[in-house]
Amino acid sequence: MTAYNPGTMPIRKTQNSARRNIVLLAGMLGVLALLAAGCSRVIVGDWHMAKAIPNKQIFAIEDAYFARDGTFTATVTIEGKTVREKGKYDFNGFRLTMRPQGGGQRRYNTVLKGRTLEIHDDERKVLLKKGKKSGEK
């Protein structure tokens, strides 16, 4: 039985294997980039609040409209102060970043389950349902 000598492996086989791995990696990165670019479109449209935890006086997004162009309009309550905001947003499937025109930036962890969007801010949570609240136009 002869011992394995790595110097005897054909170079062509090693080069083909490395090239194949690079092509696979590039393909996977391309797919991930396409998925990330399309995530914002998933939340486009009207949303309304179904539930706020611990309550809507502490943290709430009463209603929101996310446009295809990356802008939003929303009625937001944080620590008892309710305001109507406009601004820009980013959504990657797991995180929603809202940048109101008035300044600042808020990042929320999110979970999208069908037509329900859970928005988490530490222990606080808002559940939004896709569409306008019944009775609204």
Is the pLDDT at 127 greater than 70? The verdict is yes
Give residue limits of the domains in the chain: 6-40, 41-130
pLDDT of 41: 85
Is the pLDDT at 91 greater than 70? The verdict is yes
- DSSP letter at 8 equals G
User: Which position has the token pair 């937001």?
Assistant: 76
Is the pLDDT at 77 greater than 90? The verdict is yes
The yes or no reply on domain 41-130 and CATH 2.40.128.280 is yes
pLDDT of 104: 94
85 contacts 71 by C-beta, under 8 angstroms: no
pTM (whole model) above 0.85 = no
Is the pLDDT at 46 greater than 90? The verdict is yes
